[in-house]
Amino acid sequence: MAIQLQNLSLGIGRFQRGPISFEFPDRGLFLLVGPNGSGKTTLLRTLVHRLPPLSGAVHGLKFPVGVSGAESLLMREWTVGRNWEFLSALRRNETTSFAFPEEMRAHRDIPSHHLSQGTRRKVELSMLMALGFPTLLLDEPLAPLDQASRVQYAAALQKYAEEHLVILSTHESDTNLWPSSVKKFSMETLS
């Protein structure tokens, strides 16, 4: 089912954006594009109930959803492998089993707080895709990655979005990573 934003006003304190009325289909890739402070993160946080909407409503978003943002998905003291066991067991409630992402095998025994920011983000993105969430909400997922990894993960996310819904925030300067066919939602159009 599509996710509908119905006259959604969002914000925190004096920072307010909206109202937004928009509909995301149940699969595909959507970019929330805008400069710092335009409300991309606020919108994503409102979608996952971390911030209450100021008015309006979000309909059709079903949990569980895969999220990635400024806060890490991984327990700091645990190795990547142990984090995977934990997260995949939490997720296994509804589907059968998930395979550890092969591209992360080299990092399996490393405690997550020893990983660089870029590697940690790659691990998180690989895990989220391997866990097969119907919806991924990603806040600037490619920001800490090097150029080669950005291209690699942009392609992986596009492929993932053929069967799932991926909503991610990004800056205007990074939109060249994505084909022109990818739908964009400009946060600057919001007051």
Which stretches of the chain bind other proteins, using CB under 8 A? 12, 45, 48-52, 63-67, 71-78, 85-87, 89-93
Q: Which of 11, 88, 98 is nearest to 55 (CA)?
A: 11
Contact predicate 67/131, CB 8 Å: no
**What one-character-per-residue DSSP string does 91-115 give?**
HTTTSS--PPPGGGGGGTTSBGGGS
Min separation Cβ 87 and other proteins, Å: 8
When the beta carbons of 88 and 149 are compared against other proteins, the nearer one is: 88
When the beta carbons of 59 and 113 are compared against other proteins, the nearer one is: 113
Contact predicate 58/47, CB 8 Å: yes
Min separation Cβ 188 and other proteins, Å: 23
When the beta carbons of 87 and 182 are compared against other proteins, the nearer one is: 87
Min separation Cβ 95 and other proteins, Å: 10
Whole-angstrom Cα distance, residue 56 to residue 20?
A: 9
When the beta carbons of 110 and 152 are compared against other proteins, the nearer one is: 110
Min separation Cβ 83 and other proteins, Å: 9
Q: Are strands 28-33 and 165-170 parallel, antiparallel or unpaired?
A: parallel
